[in-house]
Structure 1
């Protein structure tokens, strides 16, 4: 068993290095003037992506629920070098706002080169209490709005040979306790956009799809929920944001950040019982 484990770990390491070695080169100049829409951009990863795009000289539309916070982010984007920076407040759980945001971006920028879908609705960090209505609402915010916006933006992305960037989570590939409604939305994202990747490739589409699988990131909202509950390490939002941008700009199909999230997924498939034990014992839970 020890020999098999060593062989497996060595194989994973070699595969990881091979992927990194063959990754396409990123050229920051390619983002100068790029027309970008980033959702969930008032705080956290989305806010950091807006600042990175601004530094690269992009034209940016940002959206989230709080218009007053978005205004401050947009002003900072302009100070960092964005060619343009607009904002629009929107509720992604509504029927009409996802379309309205894309229409606003197309009107202000004349088209899109990147649609970066990053927003999430608030959800409790607790054992599921049977609240089906909340799960339905969260699916609207975290999943249905994504596919609605993607469909609305696809014609423009086809014209620009653009990129669709989906910010997902390790929880969309490896379920964990206390996040049943949230993890269900991320599994849905991975399934839908994974299928859409195949369909666009089969149609020889000009649009690339990048699905970004993130581990625990040190955003204020995430840390507020898990502080004192788990010892799982958190990684910087600004670094995650830059990796997401590079993945979309280089048209890679997947990002795993930090890198060992991909390793954890492989471990789950090879040693499911061990993985379940580790997950369940990674949290401080007192029934």
Structure 2
């Protein structure tokens, strides 16, 4: 345990120095009029991101499966000051929906009523500045029961649809010098019990978008990839899943949403919320046996 204490202390010191020296370069004015597509926006973190973007005066398209909830979120975004807000209902388990959603956003964002009228005489192209990939499929928080088909379905929703949407959005993001913001989880860096299929999709996101970021940089692309890794967030679905399994502290969805937006707007490659995840991640590979022991004692079964 002396080794563990020493390594953890080093990680904690590094994280504290990083937090102390880091300055917030976020300018909320940079998002005024920005064209943003937010997925999984009917509830939880996605809903909170939509409200923050609205307060900053962005043009927003939100998407999720439930149309009636999207309608309510759209009305609230409009009341908060969004320059434009539209919604499109979609199910990311359907292979054609990811492309359909991106096309809708690219076609619609950037337009106004005058341009709609003028479009009778000429074609006006819309565009996209931020693609915020946040949606997830429902997965039980339980010991894996051998259901491979559920994992296959979850990979389509949580992983493959992200790739499909990115592929469809890249030309527009290239033109606008835009960003793809990928909302992931600590479970995309470190496994835990009861979340095998979900963790698999998040590890897949880390591998693919890490590789894509290298490739974009190597060819001097205008597109930035921001990976956002979150700890436990106090969304209703998360709280219901972990009840009875752990007493870990959950963090506010609104704060997590704002952190993600800032990371994308300042073009950070990788960020963690809360900041206390930094020492955990920095020591994970140094002392994996210690973290395994800690994880086994965090959860109850």
RMSD: 1.5
After superposing the two structures, state which structure 1 stretch, 89-98 or 275-284, moved more: 275-284
Structure 2 residue 152 is the aligned partner of structure 1 residue 129: no
Q: Which has the higher contact order (CA 8 A, sep 6+)?
A: 2
Q: 1:245 aligns with which of 261, 267, 273?
A: 261
Counterpart secondary structure, 1:144: helix
Whole-Å Cα distance in 1 between the matches of residues 159 and 17 of structure 2?
33
Structure 2 residue 213 is the aligned partner of structure 1 residue 185: no
Whole-Å Cα distance in 2 between the matches of residues 93 and 163 of structure 1?
24
Structure 2 residue 29 is the aligned partner of structure 1 residue 13: no
Counterpart secondary structure, 1:211: strand
Q: Give 1:228 shift.
A: 2.2
Query: Normalization by structure 2: what TM-score?
Result: 0.91
After superposing the two structures, state which structure 1 stretch, 17-26 or 219-228, moved more: 17-26
Match of 2:120 in 1: none
Match of 2:51 in 1: 51
Match of 1:80 in 2: 80
Q: Where in structure 2 are the equivalents of 1:114-153 lying within 5 Å? A: 114-153=130-169
Counterpart secondary structure, 2:285: helix
Q: 1:256 aligns with which of 267, 272, 290?
A: 272
Cα displacement string for residues 118-141 of structure 1 (whole angstroms, at most 9, x for unaligned residues) = 000001111000000000000000
Counterpart secondary structure, 1:270: coil
Whole-Å Cα distance in 2 between the matches of residues 205 and 126 of structure 1?
41
Q: Is the Cα contact below 8 Å between 2:15 and 2:278 reproduced in 1?
A: no
Structure 2 residue 191 is the aligned partner of structure 1 residue 175: yes
Q: Give 1:6 shift.
A: 3.7
Whole-Å Cα distance in 2 between the matches of residues 270 and 219 of structure 1?
32
Whole-Å Cα distance in 1 between the matches of residues 9 and 297 of structure 2?
23
Q: Give 1:15 shift.
A: 4.9
Query: Normalization by structure 1: what TM-score?
Result: 0.96
Match of 2:101 in 1: 101
After superposing the two structures, state which structure 1 stretch, 11-20 or 36-45, moved more: 11-20
Whole-Å Cα distance in 2 between the matches of residues 252 and 284 of structure 1?
36
Q: Where in structure 2 are the equivalents of 1:151-166 lying within 5 Å? A: 151-166=167-182
Counterpart secondary structure, 2:214: helix
Change (3 A) 1:125 1:14: closer
Aligned length: 285
Whole-Å Cα distance in 1 between the matches of residues 45 and 71 of structure 2?
17
Whole-Å Cα distance in 1 between the matches of residues 58 and 163 of structure 2?
24
Match of 1:226 in 2: 242
